[in-house]
Amino acid sequence: MSLSSDSTSVPRQVIKKVLAKLEKEGQGTVVRKGISELDQELLDPFVLLVDFSFSLAAGFPNHPHRGFESVTYMLQGGIIHKDPKGHQGTIQAGDVQWMTAGRGIIHSEFPEEEVNNGLQLWINLPSIDKMIEPKYKELSSLEILRAEEDGVEVKVIAGDSMGMKSPVYTRTPTMFLDFTLKPGSQTHQTVPESWTAFAYIIEGNEGVFGSLNSPAVSAHHVVVFGPGDLVSVWNKSTSRSLRFLLIAGKPIGEPVVQCGPFVMNTQAEIDTAFEDYQNAKNGFEMAKC
């Protein structure tokens, strides 16, 4: 077990399961969308989750963002990230980039190797923070805290687990944990009762979430948890490890309007974001370059 439960804990049950289906998105790019606009109200503060894979023929030239934070977690290969202000780096397998778009970021993302696979999560910002100055936080795989106990390994990217607490500050309070359970092992992770929580299964086909009598869930499913303060997971496989992300966050409780690369509270704010980008102002000054 990664964390012992007590008699006062309220187990979170599974209230929804969604298979992130494979879709082609341009030349050399395939994606699985684990969170769509239909899920945004249920999964507040999370806006989007994409499991992506692209080849050297693909890439995303300069494009804008406003109003949210994005977390890019590479599983294989790497992404070369660059913005017109001179920030540049490569996010390689096991590395994390936590980007606060705030009032405006323009950047490009291109593959480093022939096969590049990762996950990107969009986390909403409250209205009071949507126009803050942008910033980046990057962690190499060696900087990410990890712990292992009784066949359970956890990488603590944000939040805390198994006595490890991540130093990463998240503008919207967030937990981001990468669990690997060996065959037959189990984990019990506390999550703040008022927070939204879900899991995304990366590998494995016999993961049981919420309670022992729940049906097994396989890779590429999003599992949404109901109320409570404890998430329990069992790996029922006798031969395969189970790897999943456990993600939780404090709900914001504000209207969400997403249009392309912008996440705001109203359509008028979306219109303003497009206008600012087209006119290279209010955070998008580098668009003229």
Q: Which two tokens stand for residue 25?
A: 């998105």
Q: Which two tokens stand for residue 12?
A: 């979170």
CA distance 44 to 215: 26
Tell whether 109 is in a known binding site: yes
Strands 105-111 and 60-65, sheet pairing: antiparallel
Backbone torsions φ then ψ of 95, nearest 5 degrees: -90, 160
Tell whether 81 is in a known binding site: no
Tell whether 63 is in a known binding site: yes
CA distance 88 to 186: 40
Q: Do residues 212 and 268 lie in contact, with contact meaning Cβ atoms separated by under 8 Å?
A: no
Strands 221-225 and 160-161, sheet pairing: unpaired
Q: Which two tokens stand for residue 97?
A: 């980039």
Tell whether 221 is in a known binding site: no
CA distance 9 to 154: 21
Q: Do residues 182 and 152 lie in contact, with contact meaning Cβ atoms separated by under 8 Å?
A: yes
Annotated binding site: 63, 65, 107, 109
Annotated binding site for Fe cation: 63, 65, 107, 109
